[in-house]
Each structure stands twice: as C-alpha cells, then as structure tokens.
C-alpha cells in the first residue's frame, strides 16, 4: 500500500491532530499492520501536514484505523482536491459519478461542513464556499441536525500561524467516513481518574503507546514499572488482559500518601483494579504485584504479546532496585548466612534499559512489541544512544519535547529472533552495550533547569507542565 497512487484508485483523506506530530505515522502504520496492511510513504508525502492522502485501502481498513487512532481526527473518502478552487472543481468533475451517486440520492439527506486549518473564516465566506460546490449533483435534502451523509470541504492554510496566506495551499472535498478516538483523551483524563500518582501517564499518550504496541483483544500485556496502571487502563480498553509489577508496595496496594491536592491519604479501593472498574474493563485485569524489575520473577519463555512501560528516570522518584547488605558491604568474618533484608540500591538508567530489552527478548512472543520511554538530554542526543538488542528491531523512535534541552523518546521495538544463540554475540558487540551516558541524565536535567531554561530565559508554562509529566 502506498500513500499516493494514480487517479484510478479510491483515495481516503486523513485529517490529523497537530499536537502529537511525531507519533502519528508510527500509529497509522501499527494500526494498518493490525489489518495486515502496509504503509509506505512516497516522496511527495509530507509527514508534518495535517492532511494525509491514503491509497489502496478499503473503507473497512479506514474504519478500523479510526476506531483506534488518537492521532487521527477524521477520515473522508476523497472525491477531489487541488491547489485552487478551479483545480478542485476539475478534480471533482473527474471523480467517477458511480462512486458518488449512492450518496446523492433524492430520498437521502446531507450536509456540507467547511473546515479550515490555520485560518478562521467568516460565516458568509463559508456559505460562499459551499454554494460554489453547486455543480455537484446533490439530489437529496439538506439536514443540518441528522443527515444521512456528511461531506466536508477542507482547506489547508499551512503550518505557520504568523504567516497565514490569503488563499489556501490545498483544498480537499470528500465524504466523511469516521472520526478517530480523540474523545478518549477527555473520557480517560487522569484528572478524573480514581487512583493516580505523581507520574501517572497522560491518557492520550497511553493510548498512543498501546497503538504503537499493536495491542489487540485477548493479548496479554505487561508493564514492569506499572505505577498507577495508566498503561494498563489503555491496553484493557482495547480488550487486552493486563498485568504489572512495581517495586513500591504502597503503589501496588493503593495505600500511603495521596497524590491529589486536598487529600492526605489514599482512600479505600484506590488501586489499579478500581481504575479499570471505573472504565468498565475490570474483566481484563489479571493482577499486579510488588516486584523489582531488575530481578524478574517470571518463568522462562514467551509470555507476553506486548510489554509497554514508562521506566523511572529518577527525576520525581528515585530509580531503585532491591539489593542485599552483601552487595554493599563485605559481611563480617563470622557471618555465615545471607542477608535477606532487602535494601535499596541505585538502579542506573543504562542498567534499566539493558534489563528491559533483555527481559523483552526473552519474554515477548515472536513479533511482540516493546514500547517504552527513553529520557534524552537533547544537546547530546544522537540515534546511537538508543539501546539495541540483537533480538529486537527498532520500529519507531518519536520525540516528545519536555523543555529546551530535555525530551523523552517513545521507542517501539519488535521481537525478531529468539535470544538463546545470540547471548554471546550480544555481550561482545559494543552496539548492544547500554549507553552509559544515560546515567548522567538526572544530573544534566537538574543542572540545566534549576531556574532557567537552556536559552537562558524562564521556563514557559508548557515546559513546566511537560516537566511535571515526567518524574
Ligand atoms: C514513571 S513511573 C510509572 C508510572 C506509570 N506509568 C503510571 O501511569 O502511574 C515508574 C515506576 O517505576 C517504579 N520503579 C522504580 N524502580 C523500580 C524497580 N526496580 N522495579 C520495578 N518498579 C520500579 C516506581 O515505583 C514507579 O512507580
């Protein structure tokens, strides 16, 4: 499937949200892959545009993508497009009439919407644009409230809000097919969630992660750093069975201090299971338990269809792992047994990622996906910093900027090989040793943002909000 093709094939127009630009193409590819479809952008394809033309798809493919996407706003069957009104008209006149007529019948009702990107039009200008479409053979009656068919004229005035042209760069006209799942961002907002913590993952990003992971009904999904279970909430929404672990007893058992203002202690039933119950997906809750991700407790073998997680960065919570006194001080000479008193030790970021990738290589089913966040100090970032594993292939790497000098990258990997035979090669190959520079992220993060941002100015409120979203 190519995003562009000749005049003969049916085209669909995807109208995309403009707040998660980097995540959109991997999401579309993952959702098409769930239907056994591929997506190869052509050279003319502009990834940053809010409008993408898609070819070679069936309407069912498009509906299926829209039933999952949080990056896509709406999809249309594209009837015509052009750089000017005249070009649009000739393109519409070329569209096969037999593809239009089922939607223009006398006994049906319809309405036409006008949508403009990066420009607001006066009501009279909108009406004028609708009137200019009078050459189309609409036979039915207009119904603004409950039409059988909805059509849309979409105009693209570019991406620069400081340089809005008089005329649009491109105009599209099509039949509305379906809306995406933007509503989930509101309905699953952590603001209204029963159980939350300081680092609960934003609802929109949680759904994007589940989509990048190709989570589907009846999958088994695991989050090794589960926290308050935001990622489990998103995965269970798509019908996957979910489980997780966290080193923090209070989080797993929903006790201790509350994260909400005006509330001192967590109330009864403030836990992950209750979160799933809130959204009607409790039947997909397997369980969560207190466990240290650096010492996995799982039996050998491929257990999980997806591993999706937000590891601790050590900003708002420390990166910890369990240890024993033996690992820290040499035991006294007369001490014969092992200490079983767990103590907390530093868990370096590079070790967290090495352990996570190794765990995924061993415990994902073949073709299963690992989706996780990697914190980045932007001035030093290069692609080589992304941890690799010989059994996992990198599918996508999307940036979410947090401040002028920090960001996090959403890394998606897919299991392509069984690990056993690669273990020795893995140890010898420097490409697969975890990048030690990750360990200094915390110091750089703090030194860079104490009061000012990297440009020497006060942080913007968006930067402050973004920083609050990471720990
Ligand atoms: C960024 S938070 C995860 C937030 C989670 N996605 C949510 O929505 O609430 C990281 C979590 O990792 C946990 N953690 C830290 N070190 C760990 C370890 N060694 N093993 C397991 N969990 C650990 C912390 O307790 C924290 O809950």
433-448 pLDDT, tens per residue? 777 777 777 666 655 4
Which of 188, 199, 232 has most ligand 1 atoms within 8 Å of CB, for mutation? 199
Instruction: Report the nearest atom of ligand 1 relative to the CA of 294.
Output: 19
Question: DSSP for 107-174?
Answer: T-EEEEEEEEES----HHHHHHHHHTTTTS---SEE-SSS-SEEEEEEEE--S-TTS--SS-SEEEEE
* Cβ–Cβ under 8 Å, residues 152 and 179: no
Q: State the Cα–Cα distance between residues 244 and 399, nearest whole angstrom.
A: 25
Q: State the Cα–Cα distance between residues 360 and 134, nearest whole angstrom.
A: 58
Question: DSSP for 246-282?
Answer: ES-HHHHHT-SB-SSTT--B--TT-SHHHHHHHTT-G
- Same-domain status, 357 and 431: yes
Instruction: Report the nearest atom of ligand 1 relative to the CA of 226.
Output: 5
CA atoms within 13 A on the CB side of 217: 1
Instruction: Report the nearest atom of ligand 1 relative to the CA of 292.
Output: 20
- Same-domain status, 120 and 249: no
- Same-domain status, 326 and 189: yes
- Same-domain status, 97 and 243: no
- Same-domain status, 316 and 212: yes
Q: Which of 192, 188, 268, 166 is nearest to 235 (CA)?
A: 188
Q: State in Å: Cα 428 to ligand 1 middle.
A: 30
Q: State in Å: Cα 27 to ligand 1 middle.
A: 25
Evaluate: CB of 227 within 6 angstroms of ligand 1. yes
CB count, 10 Å around CB of 353?
A: 20
Q: State in Å: Cα 271 to ligand 1 middle.
A: 14
Domain assignment present for 351: yes
- Same-domain status, 146 and 211: no
Instruction: Report the nearest atom of ligand 1 relative to the CA of 251.
Output: 27
The values of phi and psi at residue 105, to 5°, are -65, 155
- Same-domain status, 48 and 168: yes
Q: State in Å: Cα 431 to ligand 1 middle.
A: 27
Q: What is the CATH number of the domain that holds 216?
A: 3.40.50.150
Evaluate: CB of 320 within 6 angstroms of ligand 1. yes
Pairing of strands 320-323, 343-346: antiparallel
Domain assignment present for 463: yes
Domain assignment present for 269: yes
Domain assignment present for 3: no
Domain assignment present for 80: yes
Helix (H) or strand (E) holding 214: none
- Same-domain status, 190 and 258: yes
- Same-domain status, 97 and 214: no
Instruction: Report the nearest atom of ligand 1 relative to the CA of 347.
Output: 19
- Same-domain status, 295 and 242: yes
Domain assignment present for 107: yes
Q: What are the tens digits of pLDDT across the range 133-143?
A: 999 999 999 99
Token output for 349: 């970021």
Last residue of a domain, one of 181, 198, 217: 181
Evaluate: CB of 471 within 6 angstroms of ligand 1. yes
- Same-domain status, 94 and 239: no
CB count, 10 Å around CB of 96?
A: 11
Evaluate: CB of 271 within 6 angstroms of ligand 1. no
Q: State in Å: Cα 200 to ligand 1 middle.
A: 10
pLDDT in tens, the chain (471 residues): 444 454 457 899 999 999 989 999 999 999 999 999 987 555 568 899 999 999 889 999 999 999 999 999 999 999 999 999 999 999 999 999 999 999 999 999 999 999 999 999 999 999 999 999 999 999 999 999 999 999 999 999 999 999 999 999 999 999 999 999 999 999 999 999 999 999 999 999 999 999 999 999 999 999 999 999 999 999 999 999 999 999 999 999 988 888 887 788 888 889 999 999 999 999 999 999 999 999 989 999 999 999 999 999 866 565 777 776 555 444 445 444 444 445 677 888 889 999 999 999 999 999 999 999 999 999 999 999 999 999 999 999 999 999 999 999 999 999 999 997 655 555 556 667 777 777 777 666 655 444 444 444 444 455 455 544 544
The values of phi and psi at residue 248, to 5°, are -90, 115
Residues 6+ away with beta carbon under 8 Å from 153: 112, 113, 114, 115, 129, 130, 133, 171, 172, 173
Last residue of a domain, one of 155, 181, 207: 181
pLDDT on residue 454: 42
Secondary structure (3-state) at 139: coil
Which of 204, 206, 221, 246 has most ligand 1 atoms within 8 Å of CB, for mutation? 246
Domain range enclosing 36: 11-181
Pairing of strands 304-309, 364-377: parallel
Evaluate: CB of 294 within 6 angstroms of ligand 1. yes
Evaluate: CB of 201 within 6 angstroms of ligand 1. yes
Instruction: Report the nearest atom of ligand 1 relative to the CA of 312.
Output: 10
Evaluate: CB of 230 within 6 angstroms of ligand 1. yes
Evaluate: CB of 197 within 6 angstroms of ligand 1. yes
Site of tokens 């996780």:
372
Q: State the Cα–Cα distance between residues 232 and 225, nearest whole angstrom.
A: 11
Q: What are the tens digits of pLDDT across the range 245-269?
A: 999 999 999 888 888 877 888 888 8
* Cβ–Cβ under 8 Å, residues 448 and 407: no
Q: State the Cα–Cα distance between residues 85 and 87, nearest whole angstrom.
A: 5
Residue 202 DSSP symbol: P
pLDDT on residue 161: 95
Secondary structure (3-state) at 120: coil
Q: State the Cα–Cα distance between residues 375 and 315, nearest whole angstrom.
A: 10
Q: Which of 418, 349, 335, 417 is nearest to 386 (CA)?
A: 349
């Amino acid at each position: 499937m190519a995003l562009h093709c000749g005049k003969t094939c049916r085209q669909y127009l995807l109208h995309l949200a403009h707040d998660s630009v980097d995540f959109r193409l991997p999401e579309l590819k993952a959702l098409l892959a769930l239907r056994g479809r591929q997506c190869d952008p052509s050279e003319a394809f502009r990834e940053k545009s809010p409008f993408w033309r898609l070819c070679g798809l069936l309407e069912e493919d498009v509906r299926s993508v829209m039933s999952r996407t949080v990056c896509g706003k709406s999809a249309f069957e594209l009837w015509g497009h052009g750089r000017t009104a005249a070009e649009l008209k000739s393109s519409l006149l070329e569209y096969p009439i037999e593809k239009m007529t089922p939607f223009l019948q006398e006994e049906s009702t319809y309405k036409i919407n006008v949508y403009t990107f990066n420009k607001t039009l006066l009501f009279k200008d909108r009406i004028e644009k609708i009137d200019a479409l009078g050459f189309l053979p609409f036979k039915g009656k207009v119904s603004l409230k409950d039409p059988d068919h909805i059509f849309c004229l979409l105009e693209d005035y570019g991406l620069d809000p400081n340089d809005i042209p008089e005329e649009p760069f491109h105009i599209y006209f099509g039949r509305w097919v379906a809306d995406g799942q933007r509503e989930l961002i509101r309905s699953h907002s952590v603001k209204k969630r029963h159980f939350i913590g300081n680092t609960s993952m934003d609802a929109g990003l949680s759904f994007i992660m589940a989509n990048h992971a190709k989570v589907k009904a009846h999958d088994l999904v695991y989050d090794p750093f589960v926290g308050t279970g935001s990622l489990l909430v998103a995965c269970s929404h798509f019908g996957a069975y979910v489980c997780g672990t966290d080193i923090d007893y209070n989080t797993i058992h929903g006790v201790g201090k509350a994260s909400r203002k005006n509330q001192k202690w967590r109330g009864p039933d403030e836990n992950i299971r209750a979160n799933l119950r809130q959204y009607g997906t409790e039947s997909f809750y397997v369980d969560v338990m207190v466990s240290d991700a650096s010492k996995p407790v799982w039996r050998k073998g491929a257990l999980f269809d997806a591993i999706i997680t937000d590891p601790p960065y050590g900003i708002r919570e420390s990166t910890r792992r369990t240890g024993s006194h033996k690992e820290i001080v040499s035991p006294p000479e007369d001490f014969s047994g092992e200490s079983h008193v767990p103590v907390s030790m530093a868990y370096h970021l590079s070790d967290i990622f090495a352990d996570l990738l190794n765990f995924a290589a061993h415990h994902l089913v073949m073709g299963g996906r690992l989706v996780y966040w990697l914190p980045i100090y932007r001035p030093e970032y290069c692609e080589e910093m992304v941890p690799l594993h010989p059994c996992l292939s990198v599918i996508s790497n999307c940036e979410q900027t947090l401040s002028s000098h920090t960001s996090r990258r959403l890394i998606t990997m897919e299991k392509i090989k069984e690990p056993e035979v690669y273990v020795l090669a893995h140890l010898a190959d420097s490409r697969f040793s975890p990048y030690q520079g990750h360990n200094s992220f915390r110091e750089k993060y703090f030194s860079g943002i104490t009061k000012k941002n990297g440009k020497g100015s006060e942080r913007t409120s968006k930067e402050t909000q973004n920083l609050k979203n990471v720990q």
